[in-house]
Structure 1
């Protein structure tokens, strides 16, 4: 009974709908808490120090969620990336071309818009990266809830787009937020990656080896001056995705089934709880649509993502360089492009990394811009998907009616 219940809970947490719902609940709790009479207790929790003196780790609880728990999220992203490129939708160059090109457009255009609007604003030398990311869990949750009548190719396109988008965002994080580099600790991290890859090659399965290697790799990158969440991506990409003869599942598939519920049910919601606590006072609302920092993020995320994803996709399809996903029209692609403007998790992370030195007010304003824009994109995208769903259902009903009438005549 216990095993069956645990299995059902794991399956439940693995669905995009539940992962996105938990993310939204955690963010809502943070917003309500910080703007309630007990808001001081929220800030006390966020700033609480949890240190490990022996390892020279002096981090707040918020830092642990940002640097530690998100490494688990990025590990799952790394596993998904490896699987998609090796045996999934991105393994076929012809099928991978459109979401890859769309993802590139969805990174470059928002960055250019944000940099142009926010040029000269303190923090925008790196803050232009805030609107470049699409939140996989949030976007797929909205699609699952409101796009059930859209052809299945829509999910494949959005998932592939978000996976490549996250890969590009990870590269941006690695380049922008590596201030000082310790070659000694970088060597230790690379040695851990090599040990992980060798163990995969030798078909070693015991977690007693992999867990210590992962922890040392995370710590080594932290000490090297590189954002430690990249340890998750690196180890995920080094995990084997193909099954051996007689093997039930590949290690990447097994690890994803084990780790994804932990990421979706605990790590990402807890990060959202600590990162989404933005005081929504008159000063924030007054600056949200007037301050160039927030306008750069809003325009970059909402307009930049839609223009970059849909515009590049439309152009490539029109030129005949790529094929449109089966069953999807331009309006379907536009609705999916709007979902690409949901930049929750990674955008909040980049906002914290980019604006730490600028000040709390700028960081809160940037987070508020991300939250407002992501919610707007989810609502607009949901409305568009529901409308397109009715159109597709009407077409299916008409086709079924024609087949029925033809059968009666014959």
Structure 2
């Protein structure tokens, strides 16, 4: 845990934390490995995918696609309580994302009609992480907006366990959403497979969903050959709190984020220095009760920052600079500060609106911009699964009225082909 007192430090100290040059150097090294994987999958297809499943997942696979029998058997391995809970989450997520559906529109004047169409992306791959944990909730968050956008073909790519199986809770959740095209592949090789296609896997138009560094860098490299949602970095949370905030709540929410992986970032921004010792004591207590101690200890030691500020106004300024994936405002009357928040993936107001609500049940999407990307991007939504082509229709008379203006602009730009295209239609 590190304490950064903004009363004695300047904003550059914070920038050095957020924009670490060593991360860039590390990513460059990974890029070489990812490029090799991409090229191998492009050239050798399924053969390399099976080889990488053995190498990276310790799984001896003979086929890549999950069978209908595996999906049916998954229902025998889950609890009834899970089915009830996941269906409740599904309904909430549908309800929220229905509000995002766009309508086509047109603008009509004499002899002119302009408009915007709404067209779904035809085929989308959902990357569902495995490895350190299983994420059936991520299927809901990625698939539901795609379904509402009317995407025709949805497949899932997700790494298998060492037995060559996919977690039954993941399979059941996919089945509840009508998705039975599921492939046992993860990592950069999965992104390459849906980008180029292989013998078993049809190429997709877009890939969405969070993953590790290899997945993120593969998406970055292949963007343009395939659409992507965002380049996700390690998960992060920022909590604005004061001496009146329940300390156990603060620590529980920090740890909930820190358990994702060793690189998860946690920020507590407060004007009350006296709560630091209480935070340290509570960390020790709650850490002793959790299973993922090794991951948590590393993320706490390296990536937990307590930032001391003068007042709430400065706390919000710091938050806007960091642009966190998750922002919790746990102070009195938090909603009054909502208008001042410029940059955040998802905002949680009050002590009883923890980030875990957004992860699972509230209905908002948990696929969120990280690494400061909330300065210019948004949570995953129905918009990520549609295209909005424009259309133009002019009558002969309407076109002849604007030929002169078109010709002037084309002449200024020195594009005589454009000029000719307009003048050739002149009456």
TM-score, normalised to structure 1's length? 0.25
Structure ranking higher on relative contact order (CA contacts 8 Å, 6+ apart): 1
More strand by share: 2
More helix by share: 1
Larger radius of gyration between Structure 1 and Structure 2: 2
TM-score, normalised to structure 2's length? 0.24
